[in-house]
Amino acid sequence: GDSVTQMEGPVTLSEEAFLTINCTYTATGYPSLFWYVQYPGEGLQLLLKATKADDKGSNKGFEATYRKETTSFHLEKGSVQVSDSAVYFCALTYNFNKFYFGSGTKLNVKP
Protein backbone atom coordinates (compact mmCIF):
# COMPACT_ATOMS: atom_id res chain seq x y z
CA GLY A 1 0.00 0.00 0.00
CA ASP A 2 0.90 3.65 -0.12
CA SER A 3 2.79 5.09 2.82
CA VAL A 4 5.24 7.76 3.94
CA THR A 5 8.15 7.21 6.31
CA GLN A 6 9.93 10.07 8.05
CA MET A 7 12.99 10.16 10.24
CA GLU A 8 12.15 10.10 13.89
CA GLY A 9 12.62 13.18 15.99
CA PRO A 10 13.08 15.28 17.77
CA VAL A 11 15.79 16.97 15.77
CA THR A 12 17.63 19.60 17.81
CA LEU A 13 19.81 22.17 16.06
CA SER A 14 21.48 25.43 16.85
CA GLU A 15 20.40 28.56 15.01
CA GLU A 16 21.97 28.87 11.54
CA ALA A 17 22.70 25.13 11.32
CA PHE A 18 21.87 23.10 8.20
CA LEU A 19 18.68 21.07 8.33
CA THR A 20 17.79 17.79 6.66
CA ILE A 21 14.63 15.85 7.45
CA ASN A 22 14.43 12.57 5.56
CA CYS A 23 11.25 11.38 3.90
CA THR A 24 10.78 8.26 1.81
CA TYR A 25 7.60 6.93 0.31
CA THR A 26 6.05 3.76 -0.98
CA ALA A 27 3.63 4.27 -3.84
CA THR A 28 1.87 2.16 -6.42
CA GLY A 29 1.77 5.03 -8.93
CA TYR A 30 3.16 8.51 -9.39
CA PRO A 31 1.98 10.71 -6.54
CA SER A 32 2.43 14.37 -5.77
CA LEU A 33 4.57 15.03 -2.71
CA PHE A 34 4.20 17.66 -0.02
CA TRP A 35 5.73 19.05 3.13
CA TYR A 36 3.41 20.54 5.73
CA VAL A 37 4.43 22.34 8.94
CA GLN A 38 2.50 22.40 12.21
CA TYR A 39 3.23 25.04 14.83
CA PRO A 40 2.16 24.35 18.43
CA GLY A 41 -1.59 24.41 18.87
CA GLU A 42 -2.28 25.03 15.20
CA GLY A 43 -3.32 23.12 12.13
CA LEU A 44 -1.06 22.09 9.28
CA GLN A 45 0.19 24.66 6.81
CA LEU A 46 1.42 23.79 3.34
CA LEU A 47 5.16 24.45 3.13
CA LEU A 48 6.04 23.22 -0.35
CA LYS A 49 5.13 20.66 -2.96
CA ALA A 50 6.35 18.81 -6.05
CA THR A 51 4.06 17.12 -8.52
CA LYS A 52 6.43 15.05 -10.67
CA ALA A 53 9.84 13.46 -10.64
CA ASP A 54 12.83 15.81 -10.45
CA ASP A 55 10.65 18.78 -9.50
CA LYS A 56 12.02 20.93 -6.70
CA GLY A 57 9.60 22.58 -4.31
CA SER A 58 10.81 25.60 -2.35
CA ASN A 59 9.42 28.13 0.10
CA LYS A 60 10.81 30.32 2.92
CA GLY A 61 14.31 28.92 2.43
CA PHE A 62 13.15 25.30 2.57
CA GLU A 63 13.67 22.98 -0.40
CA ALA A 64 12.82 19.40 -1.35
CA THR A 65 13.43 17.49 -4.59
CA TYR A 66 11.18 14.69 -5.82
CA ARG A 67 13.56 11.76 -6.38
CA LYS A 68 11.78 8.92 -8.10
CA GLU A 69 14.85 6.66 -8.23
CA THR A 70 15.25 6.72 -4.46
CA THR A 71 11.53 7.34 -3.68
CA SER A 72 12.54 10.25 -1.48
CA PHE A 73 11.53 13.84 -0.81
CA HIS A 74 13.98 15.09 1.82
CA LEU A 75 13.44 18.54 3.32
CA GLU A 76 16.45 20.86 3.58
CA LYS A 77 17.21 24.36 4.78
CA GLY A 78 20.60 25.98 4.75
CA SER A 79 20.27 28.05 7.93
CA VAL A 80 17.50 27.40 10.43
CA GLN A 81 16.00 29.98 12.77
CA VAL A 82 14.37 29.63 16.17
CA SER A 83 11.05 30.44 14.48
CA ASP A 84 11.38 27.25 12.39
CA SER A 85 10.75 25.14 15.49
CA ALA A 86 7.68 23.07 14.64
CA VAL A 87 6.59 19.61 13.55
CA TYR A 88 7.14 18.82 9.87
CA PHE A 89 5.01 16.31 7.98
CA CYS A 90 5.76 14.69 4.64
CA ALA A 91 2.72 13.60 2.63
CA LEU A 92 1.67 12.14 -0.69
CA THR A 93 -1.49 12.15 -2.74
CA TYR A 94 -2.56 10.89 -6.14
CA ASN A 95 -5.69 12.88 -6.80
CA PHE A 96 -5.76 15.40 -3.96
CA ASN A 97 -8.73 13.56 -2.43
CA LYS A 98 -6.81 11.61 0.17
CA PHE A 99 -3.45 12.50 1.67
CA TYR A 100 -1.13 9.98 3.30
CA PHE A 101 0.96 11.58 6.03
CA GLY A 102 4.16 10.53 7.72
CA SER A 103 4.30 10.48 11.49
CA GLY A 104 5.94 13.91 11.68
CA THR A 105 9.38 15.11 12.74
CA LYS A 106 9.69 17.62 15.55
CA LEU A 107 12.36 20.27 15.04
CA ASN A 108 13.77 22.24 17.96
CA VAL A 109 16.06 25.15 17.09
CA LYS A 110 18.05 26.63 19.97
CA PRO A 111 19.34 30.21 19.93
Partner 1 sequence: NAGVMQNPRHLVRRRGQEARLRCSPMKGHSHVYWYRQLPEEGLKFMVYLQKENIIDESGMPKERFSAEFPKEGPSILRIQQVVRGDSAAYFCASSPPRREQYFGPGTRLTVT
Provide the binding-site residues for partner 1, judged by CB under 8 A. Answer: 4, 34, 36, 41-46, 49, 89, 95-104
Q: Closer to partner 1 by CB, 19 or 89: give it.
A: 89
Q: Give min distance, CB of 9 to partner 1, in A.
A: 10
Strand partners, 38: 44, 87
Closer by beta carbon to partner 1, 55 or else 100: 100
Q: Closest approach of Cβ 91 to partner 1, in Å?
A: 8
Q: What is the dihedral of CA 74, 69, 100, 106, to 10 degrees?
A: -20
Partner residues linked to 87 by β-bridges: 38, 106
Give SS3 for 80: coil
Q: How far is the CB of 47 from partner 1 (least distance, A)?
A: 11
- For β-strands 11-14 and 32-38, DSSP reports them as unpaired
